[in-house]
Amino acid sequence: MPKWTKNKFIDDMRDKCSREVAKIGVQVITFSEKHAEEITWGRGDDHGTLTFRASSDVGLLPIFHMTSEGQLNLQINFLRSKELPKQVLRDMIVKLEANFLREYDAYFYPVDTYEPMDMMFNTQTQVIKFLSTVEGCVYRLKQ
């Protein structure tokens, strides 16, 4: 049974993060409720975790994790280990690289790590582009 719920997560995020990061977190949660096949909430004591999962031919796959401490973990390397159509992952990586101006190839991004959202998102446009990238990935995984 998960310890965290949507409301607990949002309250904790508002307590621990800046107003801007909490606002982005609420946007991500709202988006996740609409587009995820499954959202799971963590069971930890220190902070909450949201996991966004999408349907694919190989089952439910986590696309990203978000913590109530304002961190985001993109599951790019995990997705590389699955037998996904190459164009799905390539499309996602190209869009993320353009949005965040950083390399997500296996050399520069060898491990999926939690990144502070205030360092990832500088503008509302970046948030929108990130969410549309995830939406596109979800759509392509269903094909």
Contact between 126 and 26 under an 8 Å Cβ cutoff? The reply is no
- Which residues lie below 8 Å from residue 123, measured CB to CB, with a gap of 6+? none
Contact between 65 and 13 under an 8 Å Cβ cutoff? The reply is no
Tens digits of per-residue pLDDT, 70-112? 999 999 999 999 988 888 999 999 999 999 999 998 888 999 9
Contact between 48 and 9 under an 8 Å Cβ cutoff? The reply is yes
Q: How far apart are CA 130 and CA 108, in angstroms?
A: 19
Residue 143 has pLDDT above 80, yes or no: no
Residue ranges of domains in the chain: 6-142
Residue 1 has pLDDT above 70, yes or no: no
Summarize the confidence of residues 18-38 as an average pLDDT: 98
pLDDT given for residue 86 in this prediction: 86
Tokens in use for 129?
């582009």
Tens digits of per-residue pLDDT, 119-142? 999 999 999 999 999 999 999 998
Question: pTM for the whole thing?
Answer: 0.93
pLDDT given for residue 2 in this prediction: 66
